[in-house]
Amino acid sequence: MRRSKVPRSTTDQRLLDSRGSADWLHTDPWRVMRIQSEFVNGFGALAELGPAVSVFGSARTRPEAPEYALGEQVGRALVEAGFAVITGGGPGGMEAANKGALEAGGTSVGLGIELPFEAGLNEHVDLGVNFRYFFARKTMFVKYACGFIVLPGGFGTLDELFEAVTLVQTQKVTSFPIVLVGTGYWGGLLDWLRGTAAAAGTVSEKDLALLTLTDDPHEAVRIVVEAERAVAEQQALAEQRAATGHPE
């Protein structure tokens, strides 16, 4: 740089001068660093988690509601089947699944999100990571889980559900079971998807099959276990073929 383009201070000076402006804290390049650190923290905390399932559900479910008991049963059944349980770490259905997992002696993960009305991680989380950005947090729900179980929920739950279906439908993730628990709650949505969306051709019948519906928490876990077994068998077969040099 020359003439007026030459900065009046050096980078080192600006770094070391504590009286300098802090405006840069609110710039996009700095946000990129924060976003990067969320991925680094998330990957670091979860890399050795082992097999896990993400459970979604309403933040508003009350502890006395039947859906809360359902969440607890799902959390417990997942641990008994050998999975860690990942939730959004909040209240309601998330808390229920964390509670069930913790009481069953399993790993109970909460991926918290900074919200204006933040309540902090629920007390049943024993491995917690906090995020500012939904998209970084969502990556963790998918990357470290081998399936999703979806309890009754509102917009947040619907967002997570449809992101999961989109990722499977577009083959960004493969062999990823998505189980909706609560036929009374989810049945209407599936009817609409079949009767309106599929009928209009905006979703395919094949993609509707990506969603399984049950009332039974043990059945929900069984579906995830079966899917995991199928993946393991396919992997073993592929390794065998590679070792013997037979591609078919």
Ligand X SMILES: C/C(=C\CNc1ncnc2c1ncn2[C@@H]1O[C@H](COP(=O)(O)O)[C@@H](O)[C@H]1O)CO
Residues in Cβ contact with 148 at an 8 Å cutoff, skipping those fewer than 6 apart = 53, 54, 55, 56, 141, 160, 161, 164, 176, 177, 178, 179
Q: How many residues bind ligand X (CB under 6 A)?
A: 20
CA nearest to 57, candidates 17, 98, 26, 12: 98
Q: Which is nearer to ligand X, 77 or 94 (CB)?
A: 94
Q: Is 119 in the site for ligand X (CB under 6 A)?
A: yes
Q: Which is nearer to ligand X, 105 or 188 (CB)?
A: 188
Q: Which residues of 50-85 are buried (b: 16+ CB within 10 A; e: fewer)?
A: ebbbbbbbbbebeeebebbebbbbbbbbbbebebbb
Q: What would the x/- binding string for ligand X be over residues 82 to 101, using CB under 6 A?
A: ------xxxx--x-------
Minimum distance from residue 65 beta carbon to ligand X (Å): 13
Binding residues for ligand X restricted to 53-82, rule: CB under 6 A:
56-60
Minimum distance from residue 72 beta carbon to ligand X (Å): 15
The three-point CA angle 182-186-191 to 5° equals 135
Q: Is 155 in the site for ligand X (CB under 6 A)?
A: yes
Report yes or no: 141 and 84 within 8 Å, Cβ to Cβ.
no
Instruction: Report the chain's terminal Cα–Cα distance, integer Å.
Output: 61
Q: Is 153 in the site for ligand X (CB under 6 A)?
A: yes
Minimum distance from residue 215 beta carbon to ligand X (Å): 19
Q: Can you name the residues that pair with 211 across neighbouring β-strands?
A: 178
Q: What would the x/- binding string for ligand X be over residues 98 to 117, using CB under 6 A?
A: --------------xx-x--
Q: How far is CA 96 from the centre of its chain?
A: 16
Tell me the residue number closest to ligand X, measured at CB: 156
Q: Is 156 in the site for ligand X (CB under 6 A)?
A: yes
Minimum distance from residue 218 beta carbon to ligand X (Å): 21
Q: How many helices (H) and strands (E) does the chain have?
A: 10, 7
Report yes or no: 96 and 69 within 8 Å, Cβ to Cβ.
yes
Q: Which is nearer to ligand X, 195 or 220 (CB)?
A: 220
Minimum distance from residue 184 beta carbon to ligand X (Å): 16
Note the residues at the interface with ligand X (CB under 6 A): 56-60, 88-91, 94, 112-113, 115, 119, 153-157, 160
